Structure 1
Amino acid sequence: VSVEAAGLNFPDLLCVRGEYQFKPPLPFVPGSEGAGVVTALGADVSGVSVDDRVCFNGLSGAFAQEIAISASAVTQIPDSMPFEQAAGLTVVYSTSYYALKQRAGLQSGDTLLVLGAAGGVGLSAVELGTAMGARVIAAASSDEKLAVAAEHGAQAGINYATEDLKNRIKEITEGAGANVIYDPVGGELAEAAFRGIAWEGRHLVIGFASGTIPKLPLNLPLLKGAAAVGVFWGAWTKREPEAHKQNMAELFELFTEGAIQPHVSSTYSLDQFLDAFGEVSGRRAVGKVILTP
């Protein structure tokens, strides 16, 4: 595949630092997702053609001009989708859709709290939750980030840098709590959010962008009849490839309908990758950071 754009994700930073749960053998080219044009096929490959516009995902290799990748990791994209948006959809929107649809069973009318709501993965959850009919509460570290989340469908916002997270959840929901909590942040916010969960709520464990894995007191899920639900999208795609394929088809349909629009925070050339990494590691990104050859 000739790479036209590649998305930068937090796990890419962890891979480069040697801190991710999977460690590619050195030396390796970082980059877990991208989009481009198929230029050649291996023997016996079917379902993909030369000149197809595709997105792809894998553990590494996307930050390059070309990548050789398994046909099973490639998905054709709509003609109307720019490569930059396609490169920003594969991992974060697929993760969020799997989390909300399969893991949380999000229903229309549910209240969804999204932590880190202006980051790439958080903003995708805001858009998808809105498209699925939920009332979305965005939580972020600044009013500027909350404004972006509101533009993408959030109906309420909590600035957890200046406001008490648990108390604000209770206020906004009039004491009912959040039915689903989408948590890619971890750290001290995780317990505060869980204390604002609804009866039989689901706390989705997406990741730990804060750098700290929280230790949740187990009396909290007991008292709320609630659950902490792990979301390991990468493993699920390998265990249930047909379900993943169906999810991708539904995501492209939502894009075509205008229900989701992957937000590109900024675009860098490959030789500016250190600046791109700095934007993500410094938590300055709003939406996705994209690299282009």
Structure 2
Amino acid sequence: MKANCVKFYETGSPQNVLKVESKNIDPPFNGEILVRMKLRPINPSDLIPIKGAYSHRIALPTIPGYEGVGVVEDVGDGVSKELIGKRVLPLRGEGTWQAYVKTSVEFAVSAPDSIDDYVASQLYINPVTAWIVCTDVLKLKPGDILIINAGGSSIGQIFAQLSKVIGFRMIAVTRNNKYTNELMELGAYSVINTTERSLNKSVMELTNGLGVTSAIDSVGGMEGTELAFCVQQHGIFLTIGLLSGNPVDWKIISQKSTVKVKLFHLRLWNQQVSIHTWQQTFQKLITLITEEKLALNTSGVPYDLLDVKEAVSMFESSKRVKGKVFLAD
């Protein structure tokens, strides 16, 4: 059987390097499942390796895509045939930007009927990162104050909701007022638009001059560097992303601040945790969603896999309508 996939043979602009091809679909091996994909969200983390980051650990050509949801089409030896026809997230196996994905059954996460395809497809990258960062890395508790940049992003909105669940106060940093009301409704303690107000001055006013307990930087560059100086003495400055494409000024941070610097990579967490913890984490998030304590953004227009370049162009467009961009089959 042959089916479509998206592949890149060299790194660069997605518009230049992404190709839609046909590939042979091999049957699943022992312990594997074959999943017919239904929906995949496009995330910044999907595009970073296409543009050239992580080249030291990515063998080309390769198929991009880290998450999505589909239906089990076939199973290998040692896997119950009762899984056939069930919806799952086929994670940590092949890239998801293809019609069929194979992965180990251990890493597949069952999607209950209580959540639709749009929610299920987004359960991995942002929700797992946000939950682990808040509970395991920063160990946030009631009374703590967290500041994040890229406040209007998908993960920023998740952090705002988790502040209600866990009980900490969250300050969101944005560059416009587009998401201010929404972030406050979701649970943010305050939203600072840095085009209108000084970041450090605003934070010190909100914290009586003490600074925040912890900071999460998703942007890097000067924005991330400034964020580090909003943290109280010996607080934690955690970097989880590089949306600007530039690192923070580590020299200035090390010389002029007293923060404890940490980095979080979901890939490394995956390597360290047991299968039980992996599955348990998803079940906790699914519970929060079914209890309506956590909601994921399901607005947006799905694009056919064949129209991947148009979908990526829309994702990267500054004129993109509010909502996610999905690849569908």
- TM-score above 0.5, yes or no: yes
TM-score by length of 2: 0.81
Structure 1 residues without counterparts, runs of 5 or longer: none
Task: Give yes or no for contact 1:41–1:50 (8 Å, CA) kept in 2.
Answer: yes
Cα distance in 1 between the residues matched to 2:256 and 2:90:
39
**Matched positions, count:** 290
Alpha carbons of 1:26 and 1:191: their partners in 2 closer, same or farther (altered >3 Å)? closer
The structure with the larger Rg is 2
Q: How far off is 1:201 after superposition?
A: 1.8
Aligned to 2:163: 129
Question: Are residue 196 (structure 1) and residue 230 (structure 2) matched?
Answer: yes
Aligned to 1:280: 315
2:79 to 42, 45, 49: 45
Matches within 5 A, 1:180-259: 180-216=214-250, 217=252, 218-222=254-258, 226-241=259-274, 242-259=276-293
Q: How far off is 1:185 after superposition?
A: 0.9
Task: Give yes or no for contact 1:3–1:62 (8 Å, CA) kept in 2.
Answer: yes
2:306 to 268, 271, 274: 271
Cα distance in 2 between the residues matched to 1:249 and 1:220:
42
Q: Could you give the per-residue CA deviations for residues 53-93 of structure 1, whole angstroms, max 9, x where no partner exists?
A: 22233375212222112222211122111111111121111
Cα distance in 2 between the residues matched to 1:183 and 1:60:
29
3-state secondary structure, aligned to 2:234:
strand
3-state secondary structure, aligned to 2:248:
coil
Q: How far off is 1:286 after superposition?
A: 5.0
Matches within 5 A, 1:144-159: 144-159=178-193
Aligned to 2:328: 292
Cα distance in 1 between the residues matched to 2:321 and 2:264:
23
1:25 to 44, 59, 64: 59
Aligned to 2:22: none
2:111 to 47, 56, 77: 77
Aligned to 2:18: none
Q: Counterpart amino acid of 1:151?
A: E
3-state secondary structure, aligned to 1:39:
strand
Cα distance in 2 between the residues matched to 1:76 and 1:184:
29
Aligned to 2:151: 117
TM-score by length of 1: 0.90
Task: Give yes or no for contact 1:88–1:288 (8 Å, CA) kept in 2.
Answer: no
Task: Give yes or no for contact 2:218–2:224 (8 Å, CA) kept in 1.
Answer: no
Cα distance in 2 between the residues matched to 1:169 and 1:285:
30
Q: Could you give the per-residue CA deviations for residues 85-106 of structure 1, whole angstroms, max 9, x where no partner exists?
A: 1111211110111111111011
3-state secondary structure, aligned to 1:95:
helix
3-state secondary structure, aligned to 2:75:
coil
Report which stretch shifted further, 17-26 or 122-131: 17-26
Identity of aligned residues (%): 25
C-alpha RMSD over aligned residues: 2.2
Task: Give yes or no for contact 1:119–1:287 (8 Å, CA) kept in 2.
Answer: no
Q: Could you give the per-residue CA deviations for residues 102-158 of structure 1, whole angstroms, max 9, x where no partner exists?
A: 110111221111210111222222222332111111111210122332232212101
